[in-house]
């Protein structure tokens, strides 16, 4: 897919990975509509780096009306959608029995993602869907306190494979499973934990958001790939047993 003048929606474009994906898609020539929820200042910074005819839109993924309004706006402005990047997510750590944490993770990351896809599907005839998952979603990767986040991202991997079949052949659906990416998400941890985390990656550092965005554009451009979860984790999951 040539991305010039394509219409893209990216959720969670106000910081981190989502912001980097918005900028990377804009460099390829896309018109980007991206969402923010609480961080309007970050959204304004993203918007400055995008092409003309790009927009920010406030959406809480836990609110179906917000999501419907987003795609009504895209339909009214552009009449269609070519690319959806489901990136916004709730990834806080916490007690395994904190049911509020589970509820928020599952509502945002599972119901939120599928609700976004539901409304996007009405206006994508042919195109690409990319979900941002996590390295915690599969294989033998785990971190105490991350159960709700990891379970929600496992659901996203399965959703990616299932809808790749359901939406074929017109819409390709893939996911990226990032390892530790240097974003605000790490603010909840102490500098000591952040430093220790770096040593777990074979590359010896956290991944840059732009490195996830590079993979995102490569996947979106590729027309032969669907149903895949691509791990970009700096070697985090490659353990010696």
Ligand X SMILES: NC(=O)c1ccc[n+]([C@@H]2O[C@H](COP(=O)([O-])OP(=O)(O)OC[C@H]3O[C@@H](n4cnc5c(N)ncnc54)[C@H](OP(=O)(O)O)[C@@H]3O)[C@@H](O)[C@H]2O)c1
Nearer to ligand X by C-beta: 169 or 186?
Answer: 186
What is the dihedral angle through the alpha carbons of 62, 138, 16, 96, rounded to the nearest 10 degrees?
Answer: 60
User: CA distances (Å), 142 to each of 6, 97, 126, 147, 236, in order?
Assistant: 37, 16, 36, 8, 11
Q: Are 13 and 34 in contact (CB under 8 A)?
A: yes
Rounded CA separation 29/134 (Å): 27
DSSP codes joined into one string, 74-116: HHHHHS---EEEE---------TT-HHHHHHHIIIIIIHHHHH
Provide the β-strand partners of residue 172. Answer: 128
Is residue 129 at the binding interface for ligand X, with CB under 6 A as the rule? no
Interface size with ligand X, residues (CB under 6 A): 28
Q: Which of 115, 178, 201, 216 binds ligand X (CB under 6 A)?
A: 178
- Per-residue contact track with ligand X, 20 to 59, x per CB under 6 A? ----------------xxxx-------------------x
Nearer to ligand X by C-beta: 92 or 121?
Answer: 92
Q: Which of 3, 10, 33, 61 binds ligand X (CB under 6 A)?
A: 61
Q: Are 46 and 22 in contact (CB under 8 A)?
A: yes
Q: Which of 108, 157, 174, 217 binds ligand X (CB under 6 A)?
A: 108
Is residue 132 at the binding interface for ligand X, with CB under 6 A as the rule? yes
Q: Which of 8, 17, 30, 105 binds ligand X (CB under 6 A)?
A: 17
The piece of 22-30, 74-82, 83-91, 118-126 that touches ligand X (CB under 6 A) is 83-91
Rounded CA separation 147/152 (Å): 8
Is residue 237 at the binding interface for ligand X, with CB under 6 A as the rule? no
Q: Which of 32, 33, 181, 213 binds ligand X (CB under 6 A)?
A: 181
Rounded CA separation 125/201 (Å): 39
Nearer to ligand X by C-beta: 37 or 174?
Answer: 37
Rounded CA separation 188/178 (Å): 18
Residues interacting with ligand X, by CB under 6 A? 12, 14-18, 36-39, 59-62, 87-91, 108, 132, 134, 178, 180-181, 183-185
């Amino acid at each position: 897919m040539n991305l010039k003048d394509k219409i893209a929606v990216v959720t969670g474009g106000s910081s981190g990975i989502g912001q980097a994906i918005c900028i990377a898609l804009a460099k390829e020539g896309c018109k980007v509509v991206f969402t923010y929820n609480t961080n309007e200042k970050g959204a304004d910074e993203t918007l400055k780096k995008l092409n003309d005819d790009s927009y920010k839109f406030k959406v809480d993924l836990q609110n179906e009306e917000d999501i419907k309004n987003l795609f009504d706006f895209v339909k009214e402005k552009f009449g269609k959608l070519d690319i959806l990047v489901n990136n916004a997510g709730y990834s806080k750590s916490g007690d395994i029995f904190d049911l509020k944490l589970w509820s928020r993770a599952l509502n945002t990351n599972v119901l939120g993602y599928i609700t976004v896809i539901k409304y996007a599907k009405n206006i994508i005839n042919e195109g690409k869907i990319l979900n941002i998952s996590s390295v915690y979603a599969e294989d033998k990767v785990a971190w105490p306190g991350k159960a709700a986040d990891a379970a929600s991202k496992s659901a996203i991997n399965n959703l990616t494979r299932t809808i790749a079949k359901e939406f074929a052949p017109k819409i390709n659906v893939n996911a990226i499973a990032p390892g530790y990416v240097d974003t605000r998400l790490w603010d909840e941890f102490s500098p000591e934990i952040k430093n220790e985390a770096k040593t777990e990656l074979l590359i010896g550092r956290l991944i840059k958001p732009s490195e996830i965005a590079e993979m995102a554009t490569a996947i979106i451009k590729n027309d032969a790939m669907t149903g895949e979860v691509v791990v970009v984790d700096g070697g985090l999951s490659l353990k010696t047993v």
